[in-house]
A and B are shown apart, each in its own frame.
Chain A
Amino acid sequence: MDISLQNIEYRYQAKTPFERLAIKDVSIDIPTGTYMALIGHTGSGKSTVLQHLNALLLPTEGTVVIGNHEVKAKQKNKNLRQIRQKVGIVFQFPEHQLFEETVEKDIIFGPMNFGVSEAAAKERARLALKQVGLAEEILEKSPFDLSGGQMRRVAIAGVLAMEPECLVLDEPTAGLDPRGRKEIMDMFYSLHKERNLSTILVTHSMEDAARYADQIVIMQEGHVVKQGTPVEIFSSVSELVDMGLDVPEVVRFQRSLEEKLGIKLGATYLSIEELSSAVAELLRGAPV
């Protein structure tokens, strides 16, 4: 399912004295199967963009195309329910939204709300639980008796059980320990690969953006300021630093090494493996 934001603008509390322009003239194309990372400071408009992806917010200017649905500014928009079924959003700290008596009831709530039968929803719950790496036994437990990491997984299972065609992740691993973080990120990546699931990751982690995404979009003050592949984006370090953004550690390391040794490696390397190979080769072949 292709998604396309075309020149969208959004004003909070439009036509009131509190009106505030959050994003302006934002255009982003997300073809089926893309893994896109959305980067920017707190307040840059990332969350506002994110909420347009499943029509939680409707643009005050421009058009949002989601599959074969069009959401246009200043029009009566129908079929928003169908859109919301196709685009699943994992919000920050999604475990805060758990509310049911049992894990199973919590996971099937979404699908049943969209008209899936109870039996089918329960089947989906079982599958989703497996995908997030939890045992079936916890289906009957109260979500509030689980550890923080397990609660996070249950909340994610609730989104997966909707069988979305596009997954939007807002800082999905905040607060988890390194292993939990890696497990969750790897899980999303394999879902993305196996099902050609479009994935949009909102993150502060340049490491994750470099490792998983094939496209990176940088937002600043409500605008898209830069877009490209990780290598393209992280090749211009100074530009990112000027925007007050981080670069991946491996890129930072490459730059300080190049400076100290007074050399320039041919490319920007995004993994430790690639960079160490390039440097080792350089050192071995180093002229005296």
Chain B
Amino acid sequence: MRGEVFMRESIVSLKNVSFQYENQGRNALQNVSFDIFDGEWLAIVGHNGSGKSTMAKLLNGLQFPQQGEIMVCGIRLNEESIWEIRKKLGMVFQNPDNQFVGTTVQDDVAFGLENHGTPRDDMILRVEDSLKKVKMDHFLNQEPHHLSGGQKQRVAIAGVLALRPSIIILDEATSMLDPKGRGEVLETVRALKDEKSLTVISITHDLEEAAKADRIIVMNQGEVYREGTPEDIFSMDDELVQLGLDIPFSIKMSNAFRQKGIDLSKHYLSEEELVNELWTYRSKI
């Protein structure tokens, strides 16, 4: 099991969490329970309206569940603990234009630190350090509207990093970016995760992105529908399509080969593995 390679120590835990928005007949989240482990990259996928963004709002204390409890780094999340928890858990939102508050890149990154009362000397160091980490340290005094979408999201990540969190939540943080911007952001987060052993929760409907996670949770109609490694999840095939999701390209390709009588060893192969598999197949003929 791929899950065994890291220490399975729970860093976030949800127990029987239900949540309903005002004036809505149905629960946006219905009796949701799961753990997120220290140092893992967890992808939460689901169709629009499946409850995945509601989950992000609950984890960050923008909303509170009507039922159940959420623990973050051993602290029970409630209105008193939320400020403590927000230092541990940073969030990057979908729209790069809606999360810029500063008039320059460095002001923007400093904003969160100011709110937390960080001393000025320390603040300057942290701002520079986090901008370096996302490779935006040459843009200290740039105004945000001169930046590309990918650059803006990297500054947003720096703003989160400056608070030295243990957990980063990406709430569809790449869905409004072009392919280049998307790549920039994901690479940045991946490097940070490896370097600082961050826990990453990526809420997304990009299955190619989810394919690279350690573990995937599939949400449907406010409930946890399935949980497993990418390999487990992608063996669901058409079931994923029925849930409003898609199948990664390499699976579609493998399925087409199987239909044409070419036997492949495994169900889920990455593109590279699939190419190698076909090479082996050919050399056996």
Chain A interfacial positions (CB closer than 8 Å to B): 41-42, 147-149, 174-180, 204, 244, 246, 249-250, 252-253, 256-257, 260-261, 272-273, 275-277, 279-280, 283, 286, 288
Chain B interfacial positions (CB closer than 8 Å to A): 46-49, 94, 148-149, 172, 175-176, 178-180, 205, 207, 241, 244-246, 249-250, 252-253, 256-257, 259-262, 271-272, 274-276, 278-279, 281-282, 285
> Within 8 Å CB of A283, what residues of B?
262, 278, 281-282, 285
List 15 extra interface pairs beyond A179-B245, A276-B257, A283-B282, CB under 8 A: A41-B180, A177-B47, A177-B48, A177-B205, A178-B205, A180-B47, A180-B244, A253-B250, A253-B253, A260-B278, A261-B279, A272-B249, A276-B253, A277-B260, A280-B257
Contact, CB under 8 Å: B256 / A256: no
Contact, CB under 8 Å: A204 / B178: yes
Evaluate whether A273 and B48 lie within 8 angstroms (CB atoms) in the complex, with A179-B244, A283-B285 already known: no
Contact, CB under 8 Å: A246 / B279: no
Question: Which of A41, A177, A178, A272 has a CB less than 8 Å from the CB of B256?
Answer: A272
CA distance A253 to B256 in the complex (A): 13
CA distance A253 to B279 in the complex (A): 13
CA distance A149 to B49 in the complex (A): 9
> Within 8 Å CB of B49, what residues of A?
147, 149
CB distance from A206 to the nearest CB of B (A): 8
CB distance from A38 to the nearest CB of B (A): 14
Residue of B nearest to A43 (CB): B148
Question: Which of A174, A179, A256, A280 has a CB less than 8 Å from the CB of B275?
Answer: A256
Question: Which of A175, A178, A256, A260 has a CB less than 8 Å from the CB of B176?
Answer: A175
Contact, CB under 8 Å: B253 / A180: no
CB distance from B133 to the nearest CB of A (A): 24
6 nearest CB pairs, A to B: A276-B256, A178-B246, A280-B260, A179-B244, A249-B249, A177-B205
CA distance A16 to B33 in the complex (A): 61
Contact, CB under 8 Å: B178 / A41: yes
> Within 8 Å CB of B260, what residues of A?
276-277, 280
Contact, CB under 8 Å: B271 / A256: yes
Question: Which of A180, A244, A257, A261 has a CB less than 8 Å from the CB of B48?
Answer: A180
> Within 8 Å CB of B94, what residues of A?
175
Residue of B nearest to A176 (CB): B48
Residue of A nearest to B207 (CB): A178
CB distance from B10 to the nearest CB of A (A): 29
> Within 8 Å CB of B262, what residues of A?
280, 283
Contact, CB under 8 Å: A244 / B180: yes
> Within 8 Å CB of B178, what residues of A?
41-42, 204
> Within 8 Å CB of B250, what residues of A?
253
Question: Which of A176, A178, A256, A272 has a CB less than 8 Å from the CB of B252?
Answer: A272
CB distance from A227 to the nearest CB of B (A): 21
Contact, CB under 8 Å: B179 / A204: yes
Residue of A nearest to B249 (CB): A249
> Within 8 Å CB of A272, what residues of B?
249, 252-253, 256
Contact, CB under 8 Å: A175 / B175: yes
Looking at B149, B175, B256, the one whose CB has the most chain A CB atoms below 10 A away is B256
> Within 8 Å CB of B279, what residues of A?
260-261
Contact, CB under 8 Å: B47 / A179: yes
Contact, CB under 8 Å: A250 / B205: no
> Within 8 Å CB of B272, what residues of A?
256
CA distance A176 to B94 in the complex (A): 12
CB distance from B44 to the nearest CB of A (A): 13
CB distance from B186 to the nearest CB of A (A): 15
> Within 8 Å CB of A275, what residues of B?
253, 256
CA distance A4 to B118 in the complex (A): 59
Evaluate whether A174 and B176 lie within 8 angstroms (CB atoms) in the complex, with A260-B275, A279-B278 already known: yes
Contact, CB under 8 Å: A253 / B275: yes
20 example contacts (A-B, Cβ-Cβ < 8 A) are as follows: A42-B148, A147-B48, A149-B49, A175-B172, A175-B175, A177-B46, A179-B241, A246-B179, A249-B271, A252-B271, A253-B253, A253-B274, A256-B275, A257-B275, A260-B276, A275-B253, A276-B256, A276-B257, A283-B262, A286-B282
